[in-house]
Amino acid sequence: MNTATPDLTRLRALPRAEVHVHLEGCFEAAMLAQWAARFNEPMPRPIERLFAFEGLADFLHFLDWACGLVRTPEELAQAAYAFSQRLAASGTGYADLIFNPTHWRHWQGRLPAMVDALDAGFRAAEQDGLPPVGLCVSLLRTQSADAAAELVDLLVQLRHPRVVALSIDGNEAAAGRTGPRFAEAFRRAGAAGLKRTVHAGESSGPEGVRDAVELLGADRIDHGVRAIEDPQVIDLLVQRQIPLGICPTSNRVLGVYPSIDVHPIERLRAAGVPVSINTDDPALLGTGLEHEYALCQKAFGWPDDVLRAVARTSIDASFANDDVKASLRDALGRW
Ligand code: ADE
Ligand code: ZN
C-alpha cells in the first residue's frame, strides 16, 4: 500500500470536476458571525463550536439558520462568486453546485430571482477567469409531491441556461421511503431535458439507491455508498454504470462511517462502480477537494492511474457542456 504523505500541490493540479457540493455548505464561520451580528440574529452556538454537528438532522437544521441570514441578490451573487474562488483555490475545473431553495427563508416563492442572482455571481467569476459552474436545483426529501411538481413546472418554464439538473437531498431516514412520491416530478424533469441527481444511500440503505435508479431515473447518485450492503444493488450500478458522487469526510463527520479505513469507496470502485470524490459541504465540514483526494490516496494506497481514473469519472459524470469536458479530459491526459 502507498502510505507516502500525499502531495497536495500535485493533487491540486489534477484536472477534475466536483459533482456533489452544496452552496449551503460553503459559508465560512466568520462570514456567518458577521451577518448574524448585522441583523441581531442569535448564533445557535459560540463561533468556536459553530460547526460542531450532531448528525444529519442537526446539520440540516443549521443550514436553515445559515441560509436565513442571506437577504439580498448582491449577497447571493457574492456567495456564488466566492464559491468559484473556492473551486479555483482547490484546482477544480468545473462544478455542479446543488442549492436547495427550501433552506433560504427570505427567498420563498422567488426562485427565478434567486437563480438570476446566483447566475450574476457565476458570470462575473467566469469573466475573471474562475471555473464554470452549473446549478442543480434541489427538492427536500420531506417535501410533498405537489411541491415537487410545482418546482419542476417552474424550472421547465424558466429554462435558465445555468440550471443543469433537478436534485433531491435532505434526510431520507426522517422522510421514510419517498421514491414513489417523487417519481412523476423526476420523470417530467428528465423529459424536459434536465439531468437528475439524487441523494440516496446516505441516511437510507441500499433500497434508497435502488429507488433512485428505478423510480427517479438518476443520472448520478449523491453518496450512494450504502449500496455496498446489497450485492444486487452494486450490480445494478455496475450494469447501468451509474456514477456515485462520494464524500468521504462528510460521511465520517455526519456519522455514516466512523473512519476512512472502513469507508466503502475503494470496494465500490474495485467492483466496477464509477466513483468520484467530492466535498459535500466543504466549509462546514472543514475540507477541500484536494484534501479528499489526499485522504483516499493515503488510506487506500491509490497509485496515479487510480487517481486519474477517479478524476476522469468526475469529468464524465458531470453535467458540464461538451467543451468544458473536452478541455478537462485533455488536461487530465497531460497530468
Ligand atoms: N444537504 C447538504 N448536505 C447534505 C447531506 N450530506 N445529505 C443530505 N442533504 C444535504
Ligand atoms: Zn450532499
- Pocket probe mutation, ligand 1, options 21, 22, 256, max atoms within 8 Å of Cβ: 22
What does the pLDDT look like over 155-200, one tens digit per residue? 999 999 999 999 999 999 998 899 999 999 999 999 999 999 999 9
Q: Where are the domains of the chain?
A: 10-28+70-319
Q: Whose CA is nearest to atom 5 of ligand 1?
A: 170
Decide whether any atom of ligand 1 lies within 6 Å of the 291 Cβ.
Answer: no
pTM, 2 dp: 0.97
Grid cell for residue 96: 455542479
pLDDT of residue 3: 53
Determine what percent of the chain is predicted with pLDDT higher than 70: 99
| Ligand 1 pocket member 22 (CB < 6 A) | yes
Among the atoms of ligand 1, which is closest to the Cα of residue 24? 2
The confidence score (pLDDT) of residue 5 equals: 86
The CATH code belonging to domain 10-28+70-319 is 3.20.20.140
Is residue 280 within 6 Å of ligand 1 at its C-beta?
A: yes
Per-residue pLDDT at 1: 47
Q: What is the pLDDT of residue 295?
A: 98
Q: Is the CB of 172 under 6 A from ligand 1?
A: no
Other C-beta atoms closer than 10 Å to the C-beta of 140 total 18
Handedness of CA 136, 319, 245, 178 (dihedral sign): positive
Which residue numbers in the chain have pLDDT < 50? Answer: 1
Answer yes or no: is the C-beta of 248 below 6 A from any ligand 1 atom: no
CA distances from 306 to 50, 147, 227 (A): 36, 41, 21
Contact 265, 296 (CB under 8 A): yes
